[in-house]
């Protein structure tokens, strides 16, 4: 019996069996939330670049057309974003008369992150805005 208690041959296998699920859970969590942060970054970049490109417009309707056109032309270049789920709204700021605001909203509800039983799940709607003064300065 004492020989059985002092035997350490299977200790590594038991430690591996106990630690591996926790390690894999952490690893997949990092990958999944990294993908979600990639989507957030892409939406923010689209909003910022659309706001910058809208400076070229003379009227608000032309700025809206330029911003919407920029997003629809470039949304496919961002990884993990489905261009069909992006909504763009561009209008003058309600708080400042000299600022134009572009808001890009993305519905991420079909992403794999929402199919997994994670707690807490992040918001499935990603909305980011960028504002730019008239004249670009």
| Per-residue pLDDT tens over the stretch 44-100 | 999 999 999 998 888 889 999 999 999 999 999 998 899 999 999 999 988 888 899
pTM for this structure?
0.81
- Torsions phi, psi for 40 (to 5 deg): -60, -45
Domain coordinates in residue numbering, the chain? 10-133
The CA-to-CA distance between both ends of the chain, in Å, stands at 82
On whether the CB atoms of residues 47 and 103 are closer than 8 A, the answer is yes
Q: Is the dihedral of CA 96, 99, 100, 106 positive or negative?
A: negative
Residue 55: partners with Cβ closer than 8 Å, 6 or more residues away = 63, 100, 132, 134, 135, 136
DSSP 3-state assignment of 95?
coil
């Amino acid at each position: 019996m004492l020989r059985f208690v002092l035997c350490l041959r299977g200790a590594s296998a038991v430690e591996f069996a106990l630690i591996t699920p926790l390690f894999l859970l952490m690893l997949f969590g990092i990958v999944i939330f990294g993908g979600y942060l990639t989507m957030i970054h892409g939406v923010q970049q689209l909003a910022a670049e659309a706001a910058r490109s809208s400076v070229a417009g003379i009227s608000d309707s032309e700025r809206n057309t330029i911003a919407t056109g920029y997003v629809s032309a470039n949304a496919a270049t961002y990884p993990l974003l489905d261009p069909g789920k992006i909504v763009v709204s561009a209008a003058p700021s309600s708080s400042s008369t000299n600022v134009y605001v572009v808001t890009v909203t993305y519905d991420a509800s079909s992403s794999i992150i929402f199919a997994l039983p994670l707690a807490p799940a992040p918001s499935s709607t990603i909305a980011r805005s960028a504002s730019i003064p008239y004249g670009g300065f």
